Structure formats: structure tokens, C-alpha cells
């Protein structure tokens, strides 16, 4: 989708540069003509065009802004502070800065981030004369100017030039009236869009120095806040709050009443960051506005916004939450403790985080998010009893990804064994202090639990987004719809690639390794050293396991796998991670079957450090519909066209000169060769005074269409069809018949026919031995037979052919004899 937006945006810019301003419908139509689909579909993209030079005007038209900025001049009235620092506030000339380049006589300044530059020029970081953007000029640039002088920034041959401007006696009335007309609508508007509209409507406007935009806006009795302009008295602060609230409602899926506490918490964090007195104001006023954070869903939404959208430092968020705990309503303390714990986790302070979660359930013993997080800590430590107890207290804990795992690892009571009896394990201690209420599972058993502990991490926002991206790749060949996407999100390959190729498992071990039992931590560290690889199945014990050979390393493993051992046969290839589990070897992350032909390219991909998306795409290609290719390896597309021809006699003569004498108004375009090896590229035929062109390849088809235009320049195309992929089966059959005109005898019992067919097949077999075969990775059968590393693939291919000797079919026996197999 991103590629679509980028391509459409680039095409839209080129069209607008060539055509000038266009309405939505006109631009959509032009994009349709450029090959971007139906205009109605393109219309959906226009509101999201991703190019800074494409702007939608207030009147609805689209324009390439750089085309209307050429030759324009904007001015600015200098202040004493600007002259002293050689830094100019850019508010009056901001519209031209999209044309800025490295050759300009200034550098762009963002005061919020470039404080070192401000300090070097003696400007305070909070200077009230400097807006969101400034222009830094070489020292001495403004030495000859005095406060109140005008300077002009002009676009000359596509570059920006600064020069003195003459005094302006008055503000241009026509420009003022046009800005004032926009204000009559009573709406907020963007200065850049309004200026672009004015430049389109008035081609001569701002071609000479005139009053600064600040003074024009003032004369139109408008108010301005950075790039926003509105009627006099407009409340920009409230507009910002409303815009923020609206964005939060949509992004975080909140109800209107739930936005207020989130906005207040964001304000608190920003006030703490500034060290502002606003902190006391927040709590001295309606502090009950924070109360909505007591809802776990709202608290989680606020946390997501702070840590993952705005990327606030976790320590800053914690500091703000400390103030909320001390000064805010008692009802929000549990949520505040929990959010502080999550912030500590983001800082990799696991012990501090757990302490915060414990404080949360002290403040509110039923606060679900904290109960679930503490259940995860209990699970990481191997305490299934406490983990389940906490989840059950959480209300909807049964939906937690660990619930079923924890139930499985519950300790089992020993019937008939009293609490004061000696423990069954032989330790000599009483049962009640040794194993009563405690699980005793081997490391082999707990390996799956360890894997599920790590999978919990994949529900975090930073990993969930990546998981979704890979799920879309995994499901690209599945039926369209949400059901396929949801299945792909939980697909074992997707999870395992995120865990290992994307290094989520490494983060899990680094962050939470201290919580794991010692033997599980050691096992997890071993897993980090195991790479995904290609394995050949050498032996199968159905229902028990497989013997595998790692094709990359040559290592052999006996793998415990009950289900997979029933699905694979000796000689199959699979891509998987085979890891040690105690004294066993097991698969984790699914088993991906691959063909012998894919083996080498997949190994190369793994050896070079596979891009996760490319790896998933390669292993998911098996779900794609079969790709039919021509003998040249190009995609087979059944192509057909019909032309109305006036001079049929002349066409017959010209086609016969090019392709030989036609049979019954049928001409075949072939590449020279004997009866077996000649390639048919396409055909021409005349039916009911209509010339029909057929081919099974678009490149050849285009060549044939050029031939038609050359030999019949006055012909009229009546119809054209191209069928590929899943829609082409019937079309290919029809086209093959038209192209090849091969009639297969139906009576194969006739000795003469059998003899002819046998002679044909034997010739074809000799040709096949020296053909490049895709299943042999492009090698010929003779080459594969001579290569010890490819001979097994050749044998496997021959064994996949029908073994029965019959007329009209290749003989595996003869082929093996000729190949010395």
C-alpha cells in the first residue's frame, strides 16, 4: 500500500506540473489514463497524497505548489533582536521554505532542537520573537540594517535569494480582501493553502516586494497562530485541545468522556518536563478530571500514547505519575502505580516494575492490568499456582495467553500421601514442606512453557506492529479478509520470526532473564545461538519423530515430533529451527516444507542474514496459485486480439511471406528447429473475415500486434483479452489449441500410431536430457547426474514421474539408463 501511495503521489505531481491546477475528478481521470486503475478507486487515494509539493486548495483543486512559487517574493520586517543575532523569524516567508536547498544563504533553525546554535548567537531558548522556524544567516548579514527595515526572500530560478526590499507605503487592498473573504466563512484555514489559492487566482501577486504576510493578515482583521489563520477572536488554544482530543479518540478508540483524563495526564507530563508551575494548577483545579484513569482500558490507552506514540522518556512519565499518586484522586492510585510499573519495564528495571504492580493491587485488589502483569511475573518464575490465582482474580484472566499454559503446569496432588508423610521424591523431608502444592516438571516438559513466556512479549505495541506486518506477508496468498489475517497473526512461523530473526527473544532474555529458573535461563541462552536452517528428512518414525540432516552444517538430529513425523517422507526438505530441550531435540516455530528446487536459494537467503519479511514471503510462496510459465521461463498469459481487416487477400499474402504458407487461413510463428524442438511463439488466423491473433506470452503478443499495425495500418481492433493467474486456465487451453493446432490421436492401439508416438517420445527424451530443468535449479539432467551434490535431486525428480511404461509417455527406465543411474 505504501508503494501505491508513493507511485500515485509522484504521478500526481508530474501531472499537476504539466497541466496546472486540476479538480479532484480531473486529476483522478488523468491518473486513470496513466495506468493507476479506475478513477473512482483513485479518488480514494487523493486525500492521502504523500508529496509536500502537492497541495489541495481551499476551492478543492489540486496544485503543484512549486509551480506557483516561481518568481514570488515574500518580505519580513526586521527586529533589533534579529539584526543582533543574524537570525530571522521565518513565519512571514515559511511558504517558500519548501524550496530550500543546501545552496541557500541560510540554514534552517528549529529552536526546540537547535538550542546550541541559539546559545552561540546569544539568543535565549524561550525568545518570544522567534516562532517555530528560524533562518540562520552568516554573522554580519544584517549589519547594515536597522529595526523596521524590510528584507525580501525571492524565488529566482528555483533558488531562494535574500535581498533588501524597498519601503512599502501600504498593504495591497486586493490581497487583504481575498484573505478577508476566507475569514467570512468563519472557519480556521491554513496560511499555506490560502496563499497558494491566492497565487493561483492572481498570477501577478507577490511578484514584487509588498507588505509582510503578518501585516496583511492584521489588515484583514484576522488572527494567526503559526500556520493557522482564523477570524478575529478565534480560540486557538481550545482548537488545539479539541484537535488533540479528536485525534486521541480516533487513534486510541476512546469515548469522548474518556479523552479528558488522557489529555490531562499528557498535560501533566509536559508540565513536569518544563518544570512548570502549571503542575500545581492542574491539581488545584478540577483534579477529579483524572478520575477516568481508574478504568484500566483508559489507563492503557494513556500509557500507549505516552510511551509508544509520543515516545516520552519512561523516567519522565514515572515522575509525572508520582505526582499523580501524591496529589491526584485516590481512585486513580492503582492505575498510576501500574502505569509507573510499565514505565519502569520500558527502562528495563524489572524489580522496580514488579514492586509498582504490587503497590497497585494494594491500592485496588481487583485492578485487572496489575493482576495480569503480576501473573506474568509468577509465570516467568515458574509459579503456576500464584499465576493462575492472580489471573482468576482479574475477572477476564481466562483470556490471557498464559492461562491454559499455567493450568497445564499446575501441581498434581499425590492421593494417599499425608501432609506429614515423607515426600515421594526421596528427599526425606515431609511432603507438606517439600512437594505439596508444587509442580515437578522436567526441563523437557517446561520448554513449551518457556516459549510461551517469550510469546507474551509479542503482544506489546512495538512487537505487535511488526507481527502484523509479517502476518500480512504470510497471508498474501490466502483468501482475502480478516479471518485470514487473524490466522496469520497467530501463525507459528510469524511468531518465531519475530522472536528470533527480529530479536524479540533476545530482548525477552535480557529484560526478564533474571526471573527465570536457572535451567530455563540457560536453555533460553542456548536457543539464541540456534539459527533457522534447511533440513533433509533421512528417516521417519511415524507418530514419534524424524531423523534430520542440517543441509547447511551436515549435523544430524533425532527430533521428537509426533504430528510432523506422520506428514513427511524420507527425502523431503523442511525449513525449521531445531533446538535442544533438555536431553531431546524439538521443533519450535513450525515446520515449513520446501521443494528441492528451493533449497539452494533459501540457504543463500539464510546465510546472508534474511530480511524477516523476505524470509516469510519465501516460505509462504507455497500457498500461491501455480505459476504457469512458457518454455522461456516467462509467465504464461493467454493473449488474444481480433481485428477488422478490409484487404483480406493482401493480409493473406503478407502473412505467408513472413510465416510461410498458411493452412486453412492459419499461420504459425515458430522459431527454427526440428519437429521436436521448434518453439511456437503465436498464431494468426482468419475467421469470418476477422483476423485473430493468439499468443501465450505478453512480450510475443506485443510483437505480433506491431506486425498487424505494420501489414494492416488501417485495421480496427475489435477486441483484446489477456488472462493470467487463476483466471487463465480456460483461456490457455483455447489459446494453446489455436497456437499449436496439435491433434492427439485418440486410438493408441493402432500399431502405426504407437510407433509414431514412440519415435516422437524418444526424440523428446533425448532433447529433455539437455534441457534446463527448474526442479534441478536450472541444471540439465546430464549435468545433475554428473554432480554428486545434485544427483539425489535428479533421482528424486525421476522417481516422481509415472513409472509405468506406456505409449505416449516418457520412460523413466530409458532416462536412467542414458544418465547412468
- With a cut of 50, list the residues of the chain below it in pLDDT: 1-2, 674-677, 726-748
Which residues on adjacent β-strands are paired with residue 221? none
**Cell reading at 797:** 525428480
- Give all strands of the β-sheet with 222-225 in edge-to-edge order: 189-190, 228-231, 222-225
**Cell reading at 557:** 538430529
CB distance 585 to 525 below 8 Å: no
| Distance separating the N- and C-terminal Cα atoms of the chain | 51
pLDDT more than 90, % of the chain: 33
Which pLDDT score is estimated for 243? 79
What sections of 364-442 are H helices per DSSP? 368-381, 384-393, 403-408, 431-434
Which residues on adjacent β-strands are paired with residue 558? 547
Instruction: Report which of 238, 242, 245 is spatially closest to residue 263, judged by C-alpha positions.
Output: 245
C-alpha span between 86 and 18 (Å, rounded): 39
Which pLDDT score is estimated for 668? 87
> 229 by DSSP, 3-state: which?
strand
Calculate the alpha carbon distances from 4 to 1, 42, 418, 469, 623 in Å: 5, 10, 71, 16, 24
Residue appearing with cell numbers 492461562:
403
C-alpha span between 537 and 323 (Å, rounded): 62
Which residues on adjacent β-strands are paired with residue 641? 693, 720
pTM: 0.64
- Count the residues in the chain: 821
**Which distant-in-sequence residues (6+ apart) come within 8 Å of 279 by Cβ?**
268, 271, 272, 323
Instruction: Report which of 283, 169, 172, 261 is spatially closest to residue 219, judged by C-alpha positions.
Output: 172
Angle, CA of 140, 144 and 150, to the nearest 5°:
105
Q: Answer left, alpha or beta for residue 539, where phi above 0 means left and psi between -120 and 50 means alpha.
A: beta
Element of type H or E holding 638: strand 638-644
**Cell reading at 388:** 493462575
Calculate the alpha carbon distances from 75 to 149, 197, 200, 243, 366 in Å: 10, 19, 19, 31, 63
CB distance 108 to 100 below 8 Å: yes
**Cell reading at 489:** 497473526
Amino acid at each position: 500500500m505504501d508503494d501505491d501511495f508513493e507511485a500515485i503521489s509522484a504521478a500526481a505531481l508530474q501531472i499537476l506540473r504539466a497541466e496546472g491546477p486540476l479538480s479532484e475528478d480531473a486529476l483522478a481521470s488523468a491518473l486513470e489514463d496513466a495506468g493507476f486503475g479506475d478513477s473512482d478507486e483513485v479518488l480514494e487515494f487523493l486525500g492521502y497524497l504523500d508529496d509536500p509539493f502537492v497541495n489541495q486548495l481551499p476551492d478543492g483543486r489540486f496544485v503543484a505548489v512549486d509551480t506557483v512559487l516561481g518568481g514570488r517574493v515574500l518580505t519580513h520586517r526586521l527586529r533589533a533582536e534579529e539584526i543582533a543575532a543574524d537570525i530571522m523569524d521565518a513565519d512571514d516567508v515559511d511558504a517558500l521554505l519548501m524550496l530550500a536547498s543546501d545552496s541557500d544563504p541560510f540554514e534552517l533553525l528549529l529552536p526546540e532542537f537547535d538550542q546550541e546554535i541559539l546559545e552561540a548567537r546569544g539568543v535565549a531558548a524561550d525568545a518570544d520573537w522567534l516562532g517555530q522556524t528560524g533562518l540562520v544567516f552568516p554573522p554580519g548579514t544584517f549589519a547594515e540594517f536597522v529595526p523596521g527595515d524590510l528584507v525580501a526572500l525571492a524565488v529566482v530560478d528555483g533558488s531562494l535569494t535574500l535581498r533588501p526590499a524597498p519601503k512599502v507605503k501600504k498593504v495591497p487592498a486586493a490581497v487583504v480582501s481575498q484573505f478577508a473573504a476566507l475569514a467570512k466563512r468563519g472557519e480556521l484555514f491554513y496560511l499555506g493553502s490560502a496563499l497558494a489559492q491566492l497565487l493561483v487566482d492572481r498570477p501577478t501577486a507577490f511578484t514584487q516586494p509588498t507588505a509582510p504576510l503578518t501585516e496583511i493578515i492584521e489588515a484583514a482583521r484576522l488572527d494567526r497562530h503559526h500556520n493557522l489563520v482564523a477570524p478575529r477572536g478565534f480560540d486557538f488554544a481550545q482548537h488545539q485541545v479539541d484537535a488533540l482530543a479528536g485525534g486521541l479518540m480516533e487513534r486510541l478508540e476512546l469515548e469522548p468522556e474518556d479523552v479528558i483524563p488522557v489529555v490531562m495526564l499528557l498535560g501533566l507530563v509536559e508540565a513536569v518536563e518544563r518544570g512548570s508551575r502549571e503542575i500545581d494548577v492542574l491539581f488545584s483545579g478540577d483534579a477529579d478530571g483524572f478520575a477516568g484513569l481508574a478504568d484500566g482500558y483508559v489507563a492503557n490507552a494513556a500509557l500507549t500514547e505516552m510511551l509508544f506514540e509520543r515516545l516520552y522518556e519512561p523516567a519522565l512519565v514515572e515522575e509525572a505519575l508520582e505526582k499523580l499518586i501524591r496529589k491526584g484522586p485516590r481512585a486513580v492510585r492503582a492505575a498510576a502505580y501500574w502505569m509507573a510499573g510499565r514505565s519502569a519495564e520500558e527502562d528495563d528495571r524489572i524489580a522496580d516494575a514488579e514492586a509498582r504492580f504490587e503497590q497497585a493491587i494494594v491500592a485496588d485488589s481487583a485492578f485487572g492490568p496489575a493482576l495480569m502483569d503480576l501473573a506474568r511475573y509468577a509465570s516467568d518464575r515458574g509459579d503456576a499456582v500464584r499465576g493462575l490465582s492472580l489471573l482468576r482474580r482479574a475477572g477476564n484472566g481466562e483470556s490471557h495467553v498464559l492461562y491454559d499454559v499455567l493450568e497445564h503446569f499446575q501441581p498434581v496432588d499425590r492421593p494417599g500421601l499425608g501432609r506429614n508423610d515423607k515426600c515421594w521424591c526421596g528427599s526425606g523431608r515431609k511432603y507438606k514442606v517439600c512437594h505439596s502444592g508444587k509442580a515437578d516438571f522436567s526441563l523437557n516438559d517446561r520448554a513449551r512453557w518457556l516459549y510461551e513466556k517469550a510469546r507474551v512479549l509479542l503482544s506489546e505495541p512495538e512487537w505487535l506492529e511488526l507481527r502484523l506486518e509479517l502476518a500480512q506477508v504470510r497471508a498474501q496468498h490466502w483468501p482475502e479478509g480478516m479471518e485470514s489475517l487473524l490466522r496469520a497473526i497467530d501463525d507459528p512461523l510469524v511468531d518465531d520470526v519475530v522472536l528470533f530473526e527480529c530479536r524479540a527473544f533476545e530482548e525477552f532474555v535480557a529484560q526478564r532473564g533474571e526471573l527465570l529458573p536457572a535451567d530455563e535461563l540457560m536453555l533460553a541462552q542456548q536457543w539464541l545461538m540456534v539459527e533457522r536452517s534447511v533440513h533433509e528428512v533421512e528417516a521417519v518414525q511415524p507418530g514419534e519423530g524424524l531423523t534430520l540432516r542440517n543441509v547447511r552444517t551436515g549435523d544430524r538430529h533425532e527430533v521428537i515430533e509426533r504430528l510432523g513425523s506422520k506428514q513427511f517422507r524420507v527425502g523431503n526438505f523442511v525449513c525449521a529451527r531445531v533446538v535442544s530441550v533438555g536431553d531431546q531435540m524439538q521443533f519450535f516455530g513450525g515446520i515449513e516444507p520446501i521443494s528441492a528446487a528451493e533449497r539452494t536459494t533459501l540457504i543463500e537467503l539464510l546465510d546472508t542474514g534474511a530480511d524477516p519479511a523476505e524470509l516469510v514471503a519465501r516460505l509462504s510462496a507455497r500457498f500461491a496459485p501455480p505459476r504457469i510459465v512458457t518454455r522461456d521461463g516467462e509467465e504464461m498469459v493467454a493473449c488474444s486480439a481480433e481485428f477488422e481487416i478490409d484487404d483480406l487477400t493482401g493480409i493473406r499474402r503478407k502473412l505467408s511471406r513472413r510465416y510461410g504458407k498458411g493452412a486453412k487461413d492459419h499461420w504459425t510463428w515458430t522459431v527454427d528447429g526440428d519437429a521436436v524442438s521448434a518453439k511456437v511463439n503465436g498464431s494468426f488466423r482468419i475467421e469470418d473475415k476477422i483476423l485473430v491473433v493468439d499468443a501465450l506470452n505478453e512480450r510475443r503478443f506485443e510483437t505480433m500486434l506491431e506486425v498487424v499495425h505494420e501489414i494492416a495500418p488501417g485495421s480496427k481492433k475489435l477486441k483484446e483479452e489477456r488472462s493470467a493467474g487463476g483466471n487463465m486456465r480456460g483461456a490457455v487451453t483455447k489459446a494453446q489449441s489455436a497456437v499449436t493446432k496439435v491433434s492427439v490421436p485418440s486410438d493408441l492401439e493402432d500399431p502405426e500410431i504407437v510407433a509414431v508416438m514412440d519415435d516422437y517420445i524418444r526424440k523428446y527424451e533425448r532433447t529433455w536430457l539437455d534441457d534446463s530443468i527448474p526442479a534441478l535449479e536450472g541444471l540439465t539432467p546430464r549435468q545433475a547426474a554428473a554432480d554428486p551434490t545434485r544427483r539425489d535431486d535428479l533421482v528424486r525428480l525421476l522417481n516422481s514421474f509415472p513409472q509405468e511404461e506406456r505409449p505416449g509417455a516418457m520412460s523413466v527406465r530409458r532416462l536412467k539408463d542414458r544418465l547412468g543411474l
